[in-house]
Amino acid sequence: MTPRPLFRRSLTIALSAAALFGIAPLSAQAQADWPSKPVKIVVPFPAGGSTDIVARQLALHLSNTFGQQFVVDNRAGAGGNIGTDLVAKSAPDGHTIGLSTSGPLANNKSLYKTMPFDAQKDLTPIALVGEIPLVIVSSPAVKAGSLKDFVALAKANPAQYSVGHPGNGTIGHLALEYFKTTTGSAPQSVPYKGDTPAMTDLLGGQIQAISAPVSAFIPNIQGGKLTGLAVTSNKRFPGLPNVPTALEQGIELEATVWFAIIGPAGLPRPVVSKLNQAINSYTNSAEGRAKLAQFGMVEANGGPDLLGTLMTAEAAKWKKVVDAARISLE
């Protein structure tokens, strides 16, 4: 007769084997069948903005690719933290993903005293989608043909030069503080509630320059109403090929708003791979590049590891700027 303790050990081993050889294949089958139902793409910003519209374009492409509906769900608030947190706390089965930006994925960690999620621990990087460079733009009344010229003017008479940006904690603000540190100049920083009021004051002569994402300024730069002093990407922006980068002018300033697809932590690697390949095929296509360019966005692609590295590096970079300038959104 088998002793009861030995029977219990045998039963435990048998159940463990059943879990190993029975449940694991079922899990693999579930991943192979993904997506088995509609997929939600959470956008942490309001409907109608560039992030929302790009998400809807991607949703259409992914729906056609996988034969399941991809649906955009706008969850705005707290600088993108609310919607991104929803993704972080969703089930890691690939049926809830998000299109977020460099704010919630990197910068906000330093700007907010409390965060509902940790981007490095609670999210799975899937794919970069694109980036929008910043531009330093001035009025033609300012006698500067380049960012290097503007630095010289601002150093000589800092009280006479002010630079607007779209608001405290925005990438335009962070880039301006970084610019001041790297150049040793000290123009006045003027916060606005968005690009449009800042541009109105620039055209009216109330401020001398703006640091902001390039999208809103392209028509006026192309029309000669504003002077593009520099873009802050690592290479020239295709929409403004005659505007040099800050790096070309010997000024260490690189700042962009980047957009990426992410999922909750623990997302199965096969699902990540499928999504990454499908998204890269869109951003590499002529149609994808053309549609992104409508928002002043340059396509970006690569593997999930590249996105993960970018998230970590950008968080560290902007933390130094935030700490030095003592910027806080709470």
Interval 124-143 mean pLDDT: 96
84 and 231 both lie in a single domain: no
The model carries a pTM of 0.88
Residue 26 lies in a domain: no
Residue 2 lies in a domain: no
171 and 221 both lie in a single domain: yes
Task: Among 249, 284, 315, give the residue marking a domain's end.
Answer: 249
* pLDDT value at residue 30: 54
Task: Among 201, 233, 249, give the residue marking a domain's end.
Answer: 249
Which residues, in sequence order, are bridge partners of residue 129? none
Residue 28 lies in a domain: no
48 and 86 both lie in a single domain: yes
Whether pLDDT at 304 is above 80: yes
Which tokens hold the place of 58? 């991607």
124 and 266 both lie in a single domain: yes
90 and 197 both lie in a single domain: no
Percent of the chain past pLDDT 90, that is, above it, reads 88
- Give the CB-side neighbour count of residue 310, counting CA atoms within 13 A: 27
148 and 245 both lie in a single domain: yes
In tens, the pLDDT along 209-237 reads 999 999 999 999 999 999 999 999 999 99
In tens, the pLDDT along 32-83 reads 789 999 999 999 999 998 899 999 999 999 999 999 999 999 999 999 999 9
269 and 123 both lie in a single domain: yes
Task: Among 249, 283, 312, give the residue marking a domain's end.
Answer: 249
Residue 16 lies in a domain: no
Which tokens hold the place of 13? 């081993």
Residue 18 lies in a domain: no
141 and 91 both lie in a single domain: no
Residue 309 lies in a domain: yes
Which residues constitute the domain of residue 233?
Answer: 133-249
How many domains are there within the chain? 2
Which residues, in sequence order, are bridge partners of residue 298? 131
127 and 139 both lie in a single domain: no
137 and 127 both lie in a single domain: no
159 and 244 both lie in a single domain: yes
Residue 17 lies in a domain: no
CATH code, domain with 81: 3.40.190.150
